[in-house]
Amino acid sequence: MSSIRVYIADRVFTGETWLQNHAVIVENDTIKEIVPVSLLSTEQKTEEFHNCFLAPAFIDLQIYGAGGKLFSAHPEPSSLQILQEHGAKGGSVFSLPTVATNTYEVFYNCIDAVREYWKNNGKGILGLHFEGPWINSTKRGAHIESLIHPPTIQEVEEILNYGKGVIRMITLAPEICSKEVIDLILSHNIFISAGHSNATYEEAKKSFANGITMVTHLYNAMSPLQHRQPGLVGATMDDDMVMASIIPDGYHVDYAAIRIAKQVMKERLFVITDAVTVTKQGDYQHQQVGNKYEANNILSGSALTMAMAVQNLVNFTSIELGEALRMCSLYPAKLFGLHEYGRIEKGYSSKVIVMNKNMEAVQLL
């Protein structure tokens, strides 16, 4: 049975432009049309949000847990439900749960949990992002050094086969992974992101030519941009095809560095929260310190939501609001092939976020 709803706010951000005095009409899960409010019939029931604007729902491609349930420590469908609800409060229609360097038992348990969540009609979870263990120990950050190692073809085949359809992204250090490993992962239609890497500029550029299309949390845990050694940061900025995530919390990256990267990379830079939660179980003991998290006195995750990321980009990096919204919605949607998301246009998903004038998330519709 068809269900039509009409949303009205002070402004509507389509993903490209701002509209005033317009209504968004949705039917079931799809946007039917966007029309001037003056064209609505007096009989149409509307949902009005005063002193607010509508924007495309956000997509968070790196988050570890929420509500005291770090997913790797609690690999259960209920943890995913908590994570999804937490993301939705910050405006995210989709989240990609991420598991940092861990034992294969934990990785397999997390795969099982996602499958069970989907089996029970769980929504909003895209699959899994494995960050490690095939990274460079010299750029490990808070990752567990004893579990970091270069991969063999056999172990890669085993986990990819087990996680078929669930594993969506793997962050690895390209300088410690063979081309055969890269090719094998890509053959499973899994996105590869370079990160926790000490790659030289030349090694990074070669890995991009070999099919790596993105970089995990630009600047953090990677070879820096220096005038004689441009490193992974320099290679990322210098490649027109590669996209990179960034964590705009003011702790992982200085806001000036975000502004510089944005000027160079433009639409290739997108937002992740990298959010963790207070954890007393498992190998990662995250503790909240102010507005960030630490494990063993090392910066280990953020306390961001996507809505908070928008606020920080606008307030501290001078990025225009519409562009900040695109960094949290349209760009990750394009990257992941979610073609019905990232815009408020006819035929697109009806999932939109209501935000107030302070850019706080009011409701995910």
Average pLDDT over residues 12-27: 96
Residue of 185, 159, 36 whose CA lies nearest to 102 = 159
pLDDT band at 282 (very low <50, low <70, confident <90, very high): confident
- Region 349-365: mean pLDDT is 97
| DSSP-assigned states of every residue in 342-361 | S--STTSBS-EEEEETT--E
CA 313 to chain centre: 15
pLDDT of res. 1:
62
Mean pLDDT of 312-328: 98
| Confidence label for 283 from pLDDT (cuts 50, 70 and 90) | confident
* 239-252: average pLDDT: 97
Per-residue model confidence as pLDDT tens digits over 159-192: 999 999 999 999 999 999 999 999 999 999 999 9
pLDDT at 43: 80
Q: Summarize the confidence of residues 226-247 as an average pLDDT.
A: 98
Segment 30-51 shows an average pLDDT of 92
Model-level pTM? 0.96
Q: Work out the average pLDDT over 126-146.
A: 96
Which superfamily, per CATH, for 58-335?
Metal-dependent hydrolases (3.20.20.140)
**Fold category of 4-56+344-364 in CATH:** Urease, subunit C; domain 1 (2.30.40)
Q: Could you say which of 60, 249, 274, 283 is catalytic?
A: 274
Average pLDDT of the segment spanning 104-121? 97
Return the pLDDT at 297: 87
- Counted residue by residue, the chain has a size of 365
Structure tokens at 52: 């607010």
pLDDT of residue 308: 98
Burial of 6 (0-12, 13-18, 19+ CB in 10 A): middle
Query: What number is the average pLDDT over the span 107-117?
Result: 98
What is the percent of the chain with per-residue pLDDT over 90, rounded to a whole number? Answer: 92
Question: Which tens digit of pLDDT belongs to each residue from 69-78?
Answer: 999 999 999 9
Average pLDDT score, the chain: 96
Residue 338: the pLDDT is 97
Q: Where are the alpha helices (DSSP H) in the chain?
A: 77-89, 104-119, 153-162, 179-187, 201-209, 231-237, 255-265, 306-317, 321-328, 330-335
Domain locations in the chain as residue ranges: 4-56+344-364, 58-335
Instruction: Select from 86, 53, 94, 85 the least CA-distant residue to 362.
Output: 53
Residue 60 annotated to the active site = no
Q: Alpha-carbon dihedral of residues 238, 332, 30, 26, nearest 10 degrees?
A: -100
Distance CA 59, CA 73 (A): 23
